[in-house]
Amino acid sequence: MNLDFEQPIIELEQKLALMKSQLGANDNQNPAISTAIKTLEDEILKLKKETYQNLTRWQKVQLSRHPDRPYTLDYIENICDEFIELHGDRNFSDDLAMVGGLGTIEGKSIMFVGQQKGRNTKQRQLRNFGMANPEGYRKALRLMKIAEKFNKPIVTLIDTPGAFPGIEAEQRGQAEAIARNIQEMFKLKVPVICIIIGEGASGGALGIAVGDQVLMLENAWYSVISPENCSAILWRTWDYKEQAAQALKLTAQDMLGFKLIDGIIPEPLGGAHTDPLSAYQAVKQAILQTIDNLEKISPQERISQRIDKFDNMGVVNE
């Protein structure tokens, strides 16, 4: 599936591929041919830059949800030399919308936690579209406490359209589970890095997103509500999702400007899905460097900086 603004680029890329495929072994020596190829390549690059440097907020939301975009386990499996997945909340069940486990990067052990989306219909249902239930949040907290116990840094990867709104979710205390996580994450003695890799919707995202460093991928979004639901509430229809995305100012660049996040991890031109290996590399480097910086600070100092940072969020008149 291609997004509408991807289409012209993809068409040019197909044309380029076709041109190249029709070349014989000696055709490269013809300067006219190599010039034509170079011209087309330049044209593609120019169009890509024009397109991706001028994306609207809604187009970024579309990119964040691109069906080929790497998900949490894609990052973990491609970043880690070794990964052991850990399951269950020890109380009710194993929520497949929330995954976690211990991994190593360059010999360093890290606890990973994150929402997981599915790529095909069956997987999407299995992962509940990345919408965790209370047991998912409790599983996440359990793993984070294990990390604290064994003095390992924590990396959370956020990618959710929201915590699941269902009967059982309410019955088992969705609100309590999220509130508990938010509060407990402030007290963790180990470094906590949170990366919004796709969608960061509301309390369902924040439930694993209280950290010393909160980073966003370049084309991720993070806000109090999705553009669709915002539109439904304010305009009583889903049709104003583009206006809602504009009004919510939910992009990584917006959020950094408001100082509600600490940094942006650049994506390859065209988005993470066009060159996943580069995206994995960028995330891996960000994790290693951030852990390195955070480990220079004492646990007490980290906690008080973490609290102060969130305490300063908000703008009021008085």
Partner 1 sequence: MAWFNRKEQGITTPTTEKKETPDGLWYKCPECKYLTPSSEHKYYAYTCISCGYHERIGSQEYFEILFDEEQFTELDTNMYSADPLQFVDSKPYPKRIATTMDNSGLKDAVRCAYGKMNGIDITVACMDFGFIGGSMGSVVGEKIARAIEYALQHKTPLIIISRSGGARMQEAGYSLMQLAKTSAKLALLAEAKVPYISLMTDPTTGGVSASYAMLGDFNTAEPKALIGFAGPRVIRETIGKDLPKGFQTSEYLLEHGFLDFIVERKNLKAKYTALLKMLK
Binding interface with partner 1 (CB under 8 A): 163-167, 169-176, 178-180, 182-183, 186-187, 202-203, 206-207, 210, 222-225, 229-230, 233-235, 247-250, 254-255, 258, 260, 306-307, 310-311, 313-318
**Do the Cβ atoms of 200 and 175 come closer than 8 Å?**
no
Residues 6 or more apart whose CB falls under 8 angstroms from that of 261 comprise 196, 214, 215, 216, 222, 252, 255
**Do the Cβ atoms of 112 and 150 come closer than 8 Å?**
no
Tell the smallest beta-carbon distance from residue 96 to partner 1 (Å). Answer: 18
Closest CB to partner 1 among residues 18, 167? 167
**Do the Cβ atoms of 12 and 46 come closer than 8 Å?**
no
Q: Give exposure, 144-183, as e/b (b: 16+ Cβ within 10 Å).
A: beebbeeebbbbbbbbbbbbbeeeebeebbbeebbebbbe
Q: Could you tell me whether strands 108-115 and 98-105 are parallel, antiparallel, or unpaired per DSSP bridges?
A: antiparallel
How many whole angstroms separate alpha carbon 254 and alpha carbon 233?
A: 22
In which element (H, E) is residue 303 found?
Answer: helix 299-311
Closest CB to partner 1 among residues 146, 225? 225
Tokens of residue 258, six digits: 């408001």
Tell the smallest beta-carbon distance from residue 232 to partner 1 (Å). Answer: 9
Closest CB to partner 1 among residues 174, 219? 174
What is the three-class DSSP state of 102? strand
Closest CB to partner 1 among residues 165, 266? 165
The amino acid present at 78, given as its one-letter code, is N
Closest CB to partner 1 among residues 180, 273? 180
Tell the smallest beta-carbon distance from residue 177 to partner 1 (Å). Answer: 9
Tell the smallest beta-carbon distance from residue 166 to partner 1 (Å). Answer: 6
Q: What is the DSSP string of 121-141?
A: HHHHHHTGGG---HHHHHHHH
Closest CB to partner 1 among residues 52, 137? 137
Closest CB to partner 1 among residues 8, 165? 165
Tell the smallest beta-carbon distance from residue 317 to partner 1 (Å). Answer: 5
Q: What is the DSSP string of 149-203?
A: HTT--EEEEEEES-S--SHHHHHTTHHHHHHHHHHHHHH-SS-EEEEEEEEEEHH
Tell the smallest beta-carbon distance from residue 10 to partner 1 (Å). Answer: 33
Tell the smallest beta-carbon distance from residue 185 to partner 1 (Å). Answer: 9
Tell the smallest beta-carbon distance from residue 27 to partner 1 (Å). Answer: 54
Closest CB to partner 1 among residues 44, 255? 255
